[in-house]
Amino acid sequence: MKMELPVFTPESEETLSSLTSRLAFWRSVSYTEVSKDMLARILFSINGVTRVTIGRVFKSIPSAGATYPLEVYFVSQGIESLEDGVYYYYSEHPGRGTIYRLAGRSLVTEMGNLLKDSFKESFQEAALTVIISPVFSRTTSVYGERGYHYVYMEVGHAIQNACLEATLYDLAFTYTLDVKNIGQVLSKKAGFKGTPVALISFGRGKEPVKPFPEPLFTVKGREYVLPMFEIPGEKSFEESLLARRSIRNFSKDPLKVEELAYILRFSLGFTAKETHPYLPPDNIYRTENIVFVSNVENLRVGKYHYDPTRHSITLISEGDYRGDLWMSALMQNWIKDASSNIVIVSKKGVRDRMLADVECGMVGELIYLAATSIGLGTVAIGAFIDRMVEKVLKIPGTQPLYIMPVSHPSGREKRFFGL
């Protein structure tokens, strides 16, 4: 069975700053009604096509080298006008999505029996569960072993968008990355492409959960408390979702400190519930940040750390580090041209690296959306020489995951992307 979903157009006027304040995190969810329009919006936020220009396809989330490894499936158990079963989602044209029914209720039951008890109840009760199944070879064939990190980061981008879109329409969510038991049966009985790595169930929140941090480092230096007020003219979340692009050409205009403060607050900051605006894997925050300031009004040029508990930045050392970062990142000029560069880091070592990669993608998606919301640009950079970036950071025991330059787009980028 093939079915066209409702076309995605921005409907809600709620902004990212408002939406992140409403985010709530749950250990489990139960049944609540999911309409076909809600289904279409959540699926589109994960992997929908937002624009096609001169043969280039742009989607709701960024992808390393436009390799787009993610395949998206879902389980229906009471969605409006849909039979129960397992479905495949595909988006080829801007705003549009198509679903295909692959299997019936018996496979859903079999899936539920294979899941760990910690997620089984949510899966069995939720009307909608999304399955993210990457085809890793699409990315690793281009980037080698490093491509695995890029794919897991992309999974984080997708989960973050889905959770924000669900919150917009008052749906609770919970997810798991412990899904290795279901891959073989889904491949054999439903023809799944790739390897399932994440399940997200949507419904009514049952048991709240509050993530906790895994401290990585502390810094000393001069502290600057950042402004808290909103930026005039902020786009709605759904408008930002459609407009999000990877910007690689920047103007020489300085950032206002209020603009940098907005980006940090709504990606790395704390909400009113004293949590970051994302739910990390296993409810443990594994990432930290270093902010390089080069051209921001009323801030000294230097290396800073952002503290979400105080919404402040601490100057670790003065100096313009753009040249060093540029060399470390294979001379990608957008780093050197940017007014600021945000580096996402995690604890060094292989333990939990996949979980840190997913969290990094969540943070990266929020930086993209926050920048887009107020007319700024950014791009997620994962291609760099780790040891060289570590020398610039000088934070023992950490490893870089993303470098994200944030600045004003050039006139050329504005014209090309219609910003």
Given phi > 0 = left and psi -120 to 50 = alpha, else beta, which region is 87? beta
Do residues 338 and 255 make contact, with C-beta atoms less than 8 angstroms apart?
Answer: no
pLDDT of residue 414: 66
Q: Over 80: is that where the pLDDT of 141 sits?
A: yes
The percent of residues above 90 in pLDDT, for the chain, comes to 91
What lies within 8 Å, CB to CB, of 118 at 6+ separation is 176, 178
Q: CB neighbours of 329 closer than 8 A, spacing ≥ 6?
A: 335, 381, 383, 384, 385, 389, 403
- pLDDT above 80: residue 418: no
DSSP annotation of 281 reads G
Residues 6+ apart with CB under 8 A from 195: 133, 134, 135, 136, 183
Which two three-digit tokens encode residue 138?
A: 């699409």
Alpha carbon separation from 304 to 261, 263, 321 (Å, rounded):
13, 14, 11
Cα distance between residue 85 and residue 74, in whole Å: 8
What is the average per-residue pLDDT within 226-247?
92
Closest C-alpha to 45, from 10, 80, 82? 10
Mean pLDDT of the chain: 95
Q: Report whether pLDDT(419) > 70.
A: no
pLDDT range class, residue 411, cuts 50, 70, 90:
low
- Give 298's pLDDT tier (boundaries 50, 70, 90): very high
DSSP state of 75: E
Q: In angstroms, rounded to a whole number, what is the distance separating the alpha carbons of residues 379 and 356?
A: 19
Model confidence, pTM: 0.97
Q: Are 304 and 253 in contact (CB under 8 A)?
A: no
Domains annotated on the chain, with CATH: 2-208 (3.40.109.10), 213-417 (3.40.109.10)
Give the tens place of pLDDT for each residue, 30-44: 999 999 999 999 999
Burial tier of 246 (Cβ tally within 10 Å: 0-12, 13-18, 19+): middle
Identify the band that residue 329 occupies on the pLDDT scale cut at 50, 70 and 90.
very high
263-276 pLDDT, tens digit each: 999 999 998 778 99
Q: Distance between CA atoms of 97 and 2, rounded to whole angstroms? A: 11
pLDDT in tens, 160-217: 999 999 999 999 999 999 998 899 999 999 999 999 999 999 999 999 999 988 888 9
Q: Band of the pLDDT at 19, cuts 50, 70, 90?
A: very high
pLDDT at 412 over 90: no
